[in-house]
A and B are shown apart, each in its own frame.
Chain A
Amino acid sequence: MPDSAKPPNHLPDAPGVGYKPRHFGDILKQPHPVAWLEIHAENYMGDGGRPLAQLRALSERFPISVHGVGLSIGGEAPLDAEHLARLKRLVSWLNPASFSEHLAWSTHGAEFMNDLLPLPYTQETLGRVADHIDQVQIALGRQMLLENPSSYLAFDESTFCETDFLAELCRRTGCGLLLDVNNVFVSATNLGMEPHDYVDAYPIDQIGEIHVGGHDAETDRHGAPLLIDSHAHPVAEPVWDLLGHVLARSGPKPVLVEWDNDVPEWPVLRSEAECAAAALAVVSA
């Protein structure tokens, strides 16, 4: 790991929520038990105005996690240097408690797809993703966390399982991991695997942050269950159970509730954070 890939992340081992501008006033008045906030990096890459003013105010009260959704770390093409420079500008200005991105791609050629697209897990993709992570950690001068994706299909050509692929990336680059427990549940259901097995095989010591969020439950045209990572609902009961299983292995960690679509009133999101606090209390006792 390059020396420049320090300092590590330092979010509190407590509940956080994904920040939505509509909750700005409520969060300042009534944050408990929310101890930290996460923002999507790309929404704060404008030149000024209310988004940056709100972020400045929030950063005076809360540790902030910057979560990128557009760097396309899994892309075949080189990283977008302009976008990496924008990210560096934001991270230098804000000095957040954590930076994370996804094991996925979203840009190819001149086009940005605004989705987290899957990649095969092979020696070739491993080398490429590791190079991209090195590049990000050097540019930002800090360790990054990498999040596991929600999957709806698999690649025939894959030669690694996802947990081994992530573990090898940590070993090669010194990055940490963001374990999205909802994504584990969604992917395992969609790909016919057991979510607990995934957690048991996961490099648990590398966790710097955990995500939970809501999903849509559908049935595909063959009658098989199909879960969609929509972030538009409360966290499902089996996902809370799986979080308990994770925390029992990992001990207390920063746990974020994500709710990005059909965003509810603050008390609803706050009560989801209460559930995360309860799950953390079990392992903190």
Chain B
Amino acid sequence: MTVSQTRFLTALLDPAAPVPDGLVDASGQPAAARFNVYRNNVVVSLRDAICVGFPIVTRLLGQENMDGIARMFVRAHPPSSPLLMHYGAEFPDFLSGLPQLSHRGFLPDVARLELALRHAYHAADAAGLDPAALADTQSEALLRSRVTLAPGVSVLRSDWPVYDIWRFNTQPDAAKPRHVAQDVLITRPEFDPAPNLLPPGGATWIAALIDGETVGSALDMAQRDCPDFDLTTCLALLLSGNALTSLARKD
């Protein structure tokens, strides 16, 4: 009896499926129990990859709950690439779809933040712009410029206090999160990714910069969203996070 890899794999992912004929143990008997070693290895190694990739979600759920949810996820979404550093992109949406977690609506955004931090960790290296170069730029010229952001930089907009939840679970003495909406800028100053709380309008401004708008037109969009938008603070956040890699006058 030939055991194709399709048959092997089908039985591997479905614990209720029969073990393929043609697999034998030391005594030449059908290897049902031994096949379970592979079943277990696969699910446990992928489950662990999810737990390691989402440490704050794991902490919030507790290890035992997280193990169970990660097992369900692994069976529903096995990885499509040998690069496990990218595994789990569907995890936030998967959490949103679980009725048993509907009372903890913040979890998917916490998972999105953890994905963004992981993405930043592996992103290409890029030298940040020297703040002195910006100090020499006339504000008129600055407004007409386009900027390039470092590859790991991203913005997460949330209806939940994701930044405070991150702080509360990673920093000693952080205040308990209150229910407010928060936008987060993810930067990587050197090798360690860092979430930064964005002031109102900041997410609109940076999203517009990422879309290729000039500093000035991004500013207009941010001010339409939020009349008190503070350009200086947001620019300082980008500079201190090594998030700006170039500045070019619009032609």
Contacts and interface: CB of A to CB of B under 8 A. Distances in A.
A155 B191 contact: no
Nearest to A75: B5
A50 B31 contact: no
Contacts of B49: 114
Counting contact residues on chain A (CB < 8 A from B), the size range is: 35 or more
Interface string A95-139: 000000000011111111111011010000000000000000000
A156 B82 contact: no
A183 B151 CA distance: 41
B189 to A, nearest CB: 12
Given A69-B82, A111-B79, A115-B42, A152 B121 contact: no
B120 to A, nearest CB: 8
Nearest to A83: B82
Contact of B24 (A112, A114, A154, A226): A154
A73 to B, nearest CB: 12
A108 B3 contact: no
A80 B82 CA distance: 10
Contact of B85 (A46, A113, A114, A221): A46
Interface string A5-16: 000000000000
A52 B82 CA distance: 18
Contacts of A117: 5, 8, 12, 38
A19 to B, nearest CB: 16
Interface stretch (B96-104, B122-130, B134-142): B122-130
B26 to A, nearest CB: 3
B45 A115 contact: yes
A220 interface: yes
B85 A105 contact: no
User: B5, B23, B46, B79: which has the most chain A beta carbons within 10 Å?
Assistant: B5
A153 B188 contact: no
Contacts of A47: 122-124, 151
A191 interface: yes
Nearest to A218: B37
Nearest to B46: A114
Contacts of B122: 46-49, 51
B9 A113 contact: yes
A278 interface: no
B171 interface: no
Contact of B45 (A76, A114, A221): A114
Interface string A216-244: 00001110101010000000000000000
B232 interface: no
Nearest to A110: B80
Contacts of A168: none
Nearest to B10: A108
A258 to B, nearest CB: 15
A50 B120 CA distance: 11
A49 B242 CA distance: 13
Interface in B50-106: 78-85
B6 A155 contact: no
A70 interface: yes
The 4 closest A-B CB pairs, nearest first, are A70-B82, A46-B122, A192-B26, A153-B31
Interface of B: 1-6, 8-9, 12, 22-27, 31, 33-35, 37-38, 41-42, 45-46, 49, 78-85, 120-125, 151-152, 188, 191-192
Given A70-B82, A117-B8, 4 more contacts: A49-B191, A108-B9, A113-B42, A191-B26
Interface of A: 42-43, 45-53, 69-72, 75-76, 80, 83, 86, 105-115, 117-118, 120, 152-157, 190-192, 220-222, 224, 226, 228
29 contacts: A45-B85, A48-B124, A48-B125, A49-B121, A69-B82, A71-B82, A83-B81, A105-B5, A106-B82, A109-B6, A109-B9, A112-B79, A113-B9, A113-B12, A114-B84, A115-B45, A117-B8, A153-B23, A153-B31, A153-B34, A154-B31, A155-B22, A156-B1, A220-B25, A220-B33, A221-B33, A222-B25, A226-B37, A228-B37
